[in-house]
Amino acid sequence: MTHETIVLHGHIIDSLLLPKVLDHILQYGGSFEIAHIRIGKTREEPSDARIIVHAESPERLAEIIAAVQAHGASVEKEADCQWQEAPADGVFPDDFYVTTHLPTEVRVHGKWVPVKEIEMDLGIWLDRNDPAPHTVPMAEVRKGDQIAVGREGIRVTPLERPAHLDVFGFMGAQVSSERPHGHLITGIARRMQALRRSEARILLAGGPAIIHGGGREPLAWLIESGYIHVLFCGNALAAHDMEAHLYGTSLGLHLEGGSLAHHGHEHHLRTINRIRAIGSIEEAVRQGVITTGIMAACVRRGVKIVMAGTIRDDGPLPGVITDSVQAQAAMRATLPGVELALLVASTLHAVATGNLLPASVPTVCVDVNPAVPTKLADRGSLQAIGLVMDAASFLRELARHLGWKE
């Protein structure tokens, strides 16, 4: 038997940190003694606990410590963070520390320093020219870079429940199609109004079902009205949006009136071909070829668009970043300042965006398939809302709440 003492600090009850830590110790086969606990007597006052973790082997103990550290426990004996050089371009040292999406500090020369650009599943890099460490993706590390290794001298802060309780911030909200959507959409709309006033940025990541289902007009209106500042999408959303302008169809189905247009893929492909001939979406909008819809609204309002390519794409449109590593980097570059993320009808974009966002950014995930919002709601953010509904209905209700008239 071996043991180690861990300490918890902050809103350890409210954040569920304490029960999670005890649960993990048991699940990994350890046992615990609570050596000391002091619980804040009001909501504002933080709490403290010191817990002795027992395990049958040092390996098992290390596993437990790794697990609970990811949630915000830290090992009592404090030491500086250890660094090792990356052995090659694009390769971390063997024992590199893997980041979570929680606020993280590392101990450098006895002082705790926050890590910049927090994102999960990256390494921590200490640039010689910058006293503050920051995260670095595996593909971007360069041979010789100083990378954090091991677990000592690194700690994360569990999220606190937000002081202001609105529709965000409820604990363990079940994702279900049998829940009232009305007040959730009202709450999201209020948050968007507040963010627009405060000049914070709102991100929407969306799939082509937005267009097929009838969400094009309300989304274009939201963009024109200054409620969306960053758009993540793929080739299909952009192509069907412009197909709707040029042909009045989406996937070859007339959006109004209900009759079939001739072979659907032709419209879609001819749209892409035409924009390729013009050279860019921006130029197509400038020339007046595309004057309505989501892309036109984005160009007019200066919304930052990141279009990422996939193997499903026809064409693709000019502006689509076909390289996935470059597309990730472009998405990452737009995130600072984003304080709300709407992930609508795209599993790929929802999960990819969820991976890039720090846990502190509230997210709304909307999909008719409950598996997607369930997955996203489970990412450990206290501020995640999952809605099981179709994209168009969501966008129409949201836009109506914010003043859209059909």
Residues 89-118 that bind its own copies (CB under 8 A): 90-92, 94, 96, 98, 100
Determine, following the binding rule CB under 8 A, whether residue 79 of this chain makes contact with its own copies: no
Phi/psi of residue 268, nearest 5 degrees: -60, -45
Contact 148, 124 (CB under 8 A): yes
Determine, following the binding rule CB under 8 A, whether residue 393 of this chain makes contact with its own copies: yes
CB nearer its own copies, residue 290 or residue 352:
352
Shortest distance, position 339 Cβ to its own copies, whole Å: 20
Residue corresponding to tokens 């390769």 = 91
DSSP 174-196: PP-TTS--HHHHHHHHHHHHHHH
Determine, following the binding rule CB under 8 A, whether residue 248 of this chain makes contact with its own copies: no
The residue range among 77-85, 105-113, 220-228, 373-381 that interacts with its own copies, by the rule CB under 8 A, is 373-381
Residue corresponding to tokens 């699940």 = 27
- Strand ordering across the sheet containing 104-108: 111-114, 104-108, 154-156
Determine, following the binding rule CB under 8 A, whether residue 29 of this chain makes contact with its own copies: yes
122-126 long-range Cβ contacts below 8 angstroms, 24+ apart: 122/98, 123/92, 123/96, 123/97, 123/98, 123/99, 123/147, 123/148, 124/81, 124/97, 124/99, 124/148, 124/154, 126/83
| H or E, element range at 66 | helix 58-69
Contact 134, 106 (CB under 8 A): no
CA distance 280 to 291: 14
Determine, following the binding rule CB under 8 A, whether residue 18 of this chain makes contact with its own copies: yes
Shortest distance, position 4 Cβ to its own copies, whole Å: 14
CA distance 246 to 263: 15
Kindly tell me which residue out of 9, 107, 116, 179 binds its own copies, with binding defined by CB under 8 A: 179
Determine, following the binding rule CB under 8 A, whether residue 348 of this chain makes contact with its own copies: yes
Kindly tell me which residue out of 111, 142, 263, 286 binds its own copies, with binding defined by CB under 8 A: 263
Range list of H helices, 199-234: 209-213, 216-224
Residues 128-147 that bind its own copies (CB under 8 A): 138-139
List the x/- string, 190-229, binding to its own copies by CB under 8 A: ------------------xx--xxx---------------
Kindly tell me which residue out of 48, 63, 117, 339 binds its own copies, with binding defined by CB under 8 A: 63
Closest CA to 351 of 173, 191, 169, 120: 120
Determine, following the binding rule CB under 8 A, whether residue 293 of this chain makes contact with its own copies: no
Kindly tell me which residue out of 3, 78, 85, 88 binds its own copies, with binding defined by CB under 8 A: 88
3-state secondary structure string across 85-97: ECCECCECCCCEC
The residue range among 218-226, 283-291, 294-302, 313-321 that interacts with its own copies, by the rule CB under 8 A, is 313-321
Determine, following the binding rule CB under 8 A, whether residue 56 of this chain makes contact with its own copies: no
Half-sphere exposure (CA, 13 Å, Cβ side) for 249? 18
Determine, following the binding rule CB under 8 A, whether residue 273 of this chain makes contact with its own copies: yes
| H or E, element range at 267 | helix 264-278
Determine, following the binding rule CB under 8 A, whether residue 269 of this chain makes contact with its own copies: yes
Determine, following the binding rule CB under 8 A, whether residue 310 of this chain makes contact with its own copies: yes
Kindly tell me which residue out of 153, 158, 315, 358 binds its own copies, with binding defined by CB under 8 A: 315
Determine, following the binding rule CB under 8 A, whether residue 156 of this chain makes contact with its own copies: no
With contacts defined by CB under 8 A, how many residues of the chain interact with its own copies?
Answer: 127
CB nearer its own copies, residue 14 or residue 111:
14
Determine, following the binding rule CB under 8 A, whether residue 397 of this chain makes contact with its own copies: yes
Q: List, in order, residues 6 or more apart from 334 with CB less than 8 Å away.
A: 203, 230, 304, 306
Shortest distance, position 109 Cβ to its own copies, whole Å: 27
